[in-house]
Structure 1
């Protein structure tokens, strides 16, 4: 191993994860360990929760001025705390501060903490965006990160599914206008009304009423509604569940590979590092170096101990 690899240390990513991460040599070790420590993360979570409560209090109208003042003070304190925390995390990257921005969660924190406060007094949209500060709590909850990441990964396949659903619903909406439009204009009078009716029926809401009403108009309603229910409603629901489950599996694998947001290194346990070093050493010895059988036996015993331990 190189001297840089020898100087690496390990740290736990925080309160909600048992996996250890390797800290690269360029990190400020004591500061990085502090940022990943349980005590510091408890403080950060407490500030995020207090900030969420204060933002909630500020939405009420009939609140005592003293309570409003306290809520505003907590909100201001949270912004200052987030800024200091962000600065310390960037400083902890030592000689390579740009590595901080290699992690998407760090970029998210940077934008939320530094940009949103300057926009908080702007339009309603920017006032809503400031609530994204609360989403930083997901950084400390692995399972919540998995759910959030799975939602992001589901966007592309869901967009393709939406195109397919839109095309099929267009066909069914046009057929509904032709079949039921003259007799039931409130539900099927034009393409827009038919689309609205079919959209509501995706949840099977008022499906019996529309079905029975259609049967009174034409016997083709039986084939129309049953095919819509089985081919659109049930199929779409199953495909939707499949997309979400697949995205969740992908997100779980990604979080497992990088459990500590912003660590700048892949997660490696000390046993795995030591085991890999011994394997490399054994391969070098067997490749051409003269070594006694007893020495090889001791190395193999150590490998077995680490592998089973």
Structure 2
């Protein structure tokens, strides 16, 4: 009973909004501390920053322990990827950052503690999960974009290499130049240079910009927004206790019901 009481206590602490807000403040303080270390600081302030760094590390360690002890089933704690990520970051932060061969590693790890904001704030978790789930679809878009870059790069290298070898000398340079055009970094200078010899070369640039900067960008936005909506629906279902029923299953069931209603309507019409 006493163990269960402690578990309920830790659960109430980890679910407390004030506790979450405190952890967010500590994460922000940790980020500011990392930035402060990049300046040339005197000895006294360096000691203060060193002490504060270890205080923040101990707070993170305590916070992870509270979250773990508050879990009703301890194995469930490690079934969530964000919990594993937080644990690895906190444990790795115990690496000394002064007078050690691992000092550089320790400093780099402390930079990544800022990413804990994603695991603490639910809305940011949803955004990151949606982005991760969208990566496979985005991969196909990137492949298609590479094909367009390659085709236009080959054409540009054949036509414009003599005009400016530094920009169009080979297909690799041509693709880098096209990336510059896609990002609108002084792309008109590149276009006007080739238009001296090829007056109609503007169509080459405008068609490429339409495909890369407009069409592909809208495809990427559409994929991310679609996955984000699905992730929001999934979270909403979990909050309603419907974690075992996926959206696809719900849509399938609705389609089956509609088919059955249509079949019943058809039978009734035949009987009449």
* TM-score class normalised by the smaller sequence: 0.7 to 0.9
The ranges of structure 1 where at least 4 consecutive aligned residues each deviate by more than 6 angstroms after the TM superposition are none
Tell whether the 8 Å contact from 1:151 to 1:244 is kept in structure 2 after alignment.
Answer: yes
- CA shift, 1:123, in A, is 6.8
Is it true that 1:105 corresponds to 2:82 in the alignment? yes
The normalised TM-score by structure 1 is 0.68
Is it true that 1:147 corresponds to 2:127 in the alignment? yes
Matched with 2:204 is: 224
Paired with 1:54 and 1:231, the residues of 2 have a C-alpha distance of 44
- Match among 128, 132, 156 for residue 108 of structure 2: 128
The normalised TM-score by structure 2 is 0.77
- Match among 51, 57, 60 for residue 73 of structure 1: 51
Matched with 1:302 is: none
- Match among 13, 28, 38 for residue 34 of structure 1: 13
- Match among 25, 29, 39 for residue 60 of structure 1: 39
Query: Over residues 226-254 of structure 1, what are the superposed CA-to-partner deviations in whole Å (9 max), with x where a residue is unaligned?
Result: 22122222211211221221232233234
Matched with 2:27 is: 48
Structure with the bigger RCO (C-alpha within 8 Å, sep 6+) is: 1
Paired residues for 1:62-211 under 5 Å: 63-94=41-72, 96-118=73-95, 122=102, 124=104, 127-211=107-191
- CA shift, 1:181, in A, is 0.8
Higher helix share: 2
Is it true that 1:234 corresponds to 2:206 in the alignment? no
CA root-mean-square deviation: 2.6
Aligned residues: 236
- CA shift, 1:76, in A, is 0.4
Question: Tell me, which stretches of 5 or more residues in structure 1 are unaligned?
Answer: 1-24, 258-265, 273-309
